[in-house]
Structure 1
Amino acid sequence: MRRLVTELVLPLLPRLSPGRARLRLGSNTAHYGDAAAELEAFARPLWGLAPLAAGGGSFEHWELWRRGLAAGTNPGHEEFWGAVTDVDQRLVETAAIGLALALAPEAVWDPLSGRERDDLAAWLLHSMSVEAVDNNWRFFPVMVGLGLDRVGVRFDPGPNLARLERLESFALGGGWYSDGPTAQRDYYVPFAMHYYGLLYATLAADRDLGRAGRLRERAAAFALDFQHWFTSDGAAVPFGRSLTYRFAQGAFWGALAFAGVEALPWGEVKGQLMRHLRWWSGRPIRDSAGLLTLGYGYAQPALAEQYNAPGSPYWALKAFLPLALAAEHPFWTAGERAARELAATSVQPEAGVALMRCERGRQVVMLSAGQHHTWVRHGAAKYAKFAYSTAFGFSVPGGSWGLEQGAFDSTLAVSDDGTHWRPCEVPDCLSSRGGLLHARWTPWPDVEVDTWLLPRPPWHIRVHRLRSGRGLSSAEGAFAVDRDPAAYRAAEGPGHARLDSPAGLCVIEDLCGARSGELVLPLPGTNVIVPRTVIPTLRGEHEPGEHWLACAVLGLSGPCSSTPAPSGTGPASGWPEPPGLEEISALLPGGHPFGDR
Structure 2
Amino acid sequence: METVRSYWVDTMLKIAGPVIFALEKDSLRKQMPVECRQEDDGRGQYTYLEALGRTLCGIAPWLACKGLTCGEEQKRQGLAAAARTAIKNAVTPGCSDFMNFETGAQPIVDAAFLCHGLLRAPEELFEPLEKETKKNLILQLKKTRTRKPYYNNWLLFSAMIEAFFYYAGEADWDSMRIDFAVKQHMQWYKGDGVYGDGNEFHFDYYNSFVIQPMLVDILNTVGHEYEDWAEVTEIVKKRFSHHASVLEGLIGTDGSYPVIGRSSAYRFGAFQALSQAALQNLLEPDLSYGQVRCALTAVIQKVMQFENFDHEGWLKIGVCGSQPAIGEPYISTGSLYLCTTVFLPLGLPASHPFWTEADSPWTAKKIWSGENCVSVHSI
How high is the TM-score relative to the length of structure 1? 0.53
> 1:386-535, aligned counterparts within 5 Å?
none
Match of 2:190, SS? strand
- The alpha-carbon distance between structure 1 residues 107 and 219, as it changes in their structure 2 partners (threshold 3 A), is closer
2:214 counterpart residue number = 196
Tell me by how many angstroms 1:27 deviates: 3.5
Establish whether residue 239 from structure 1 lines up as the match of residue 246 from structure 2: no
Tell me by how many angstroms 1:315 deviates: 0.8
Match of 1:45, SS? helix
Higher relative helix content: 2
- The alpha-carbon distance between structure 1 residues 342 and 43, as it changes in their structure 2 partners (threshold 3 A), is closer
- The alpha-carbon distance between structure 1 residues 2 and 253, as it changes in their structure 2 partners (threshold 3 A), is same
Match of 1:214, SS? helix
Contact 2:204 2:260 in 1 (8 A): yes
Higher relative strand content: 1
- The alpha-carbon distance between structure 1 residues 180 and 150, as it changes in their structure 2 partners (threshold 3 A), is same
Output the CA distance in 1 between the equivalents of 2:281 and 2:319. 30
Q: Deviations over 1:453-480 (max 9, x none)?
A: xxxxxxxxxxxxxxxxxxxxxxxxxxxx
Q: Deviations over 1:38-59 (max 9, x none)?
A: 2222332212331111113514
Contact 1:28 1:34 in 2 (8 A): no
Q: CA RMSD in A?
A: 2.9
> 1:277-292, aligned counterparts within 5 Å?
277-292=300-315
2:58 counterpart residue number = 48
Establish whether residue 35 from structure 1 lines up as the match of residue 53 from structure 2: no
1:172 counterpart residue number = 190
Q: Which moved more, 1:282-291 or 1:167-176?
A: 282-291
AA at the equivalent of 2:174: D
Contact 2:209 2:273 in 1 (8 A): yes
Contact 1:179 1:185 in 2 (8 A): no
Output the CA distance in 1 between the equivalents of 2:190 and 2:366. 23
Tell me by how many angstroms 1:260 deviates: 1.9
Give ranges in structure 1 of 5+ residues lacking alignment: 345-357, 362-597
- The count of residues paired between Structure 1 and Structure 2 equals 347
Identical-pair percentage: 23
Q: Deviations over 1:273-309 (max 9, x none)?
A: 2221222232222233222211121212222110111
AA at the equivalent of 2:274: W
Contact 1:178 1:185 in 2 (8 A): no
Match of 2:78, SS? coil
Tell me by how many angstroms 1:62 deviates: 3.9
Q: 2:17 aligns with which of 10, 22, 25?
A: 10
Output the CA distance in 1 between the equivalents of 2:161 and 2:89. 19
- The alpha-carbon distance between structure 1 residues 297 and 22, as it changes in their structure 2 partners (threshold 3 A), is same
2:298 counterpart residue number = 275
Match of 2:283, SS? coil
- Structure number with greater Rg is 1
Tell me by how many angstroms 1:224 deviates: 4.3
AA at the equivalent of 1:53: L
Match of 1:172, SS? strand
Contact 2:306 2:320 in 1 (8 A): yes
Output the CA distance in 2 between the equivalents of 1:14 and 1:224. 35
- The alpha-carbon distance between structure 1 residues 178 and 80, as it changes in their structure 2 partners (threshold 3 A), is same
> 1:38-437, aligned counterparts within 5 Å?
38-56=48-66, 57=73, 58-75=76-93, 79-85=97-103, 88-128=105-145, 130-154=147-171, 155-207=173-225, 208-263=229-284, 264-266=286-288, 267-340=290-363
Output the CA distance in 2 between the equivalents of 1:85 and 1:167. 27
Contact 2:272 2:344 in 1 (8 A): yes
Tell me by how many angstroms 1:196 deviates: 1.8
Output the CA distance in 2 between the equivalents of 1:329 and 1:285. 31
AA at the equivalent of 1:105: P
Match of 1:311, SS? helix
Output the CA distance in 1 between the equivalents of 2:258 and 2:109. 25
- The alpha-carbon distance between structure 1 residues 19 and 223, as it changes in their structure 2 partners (threshold 3 A), is closer
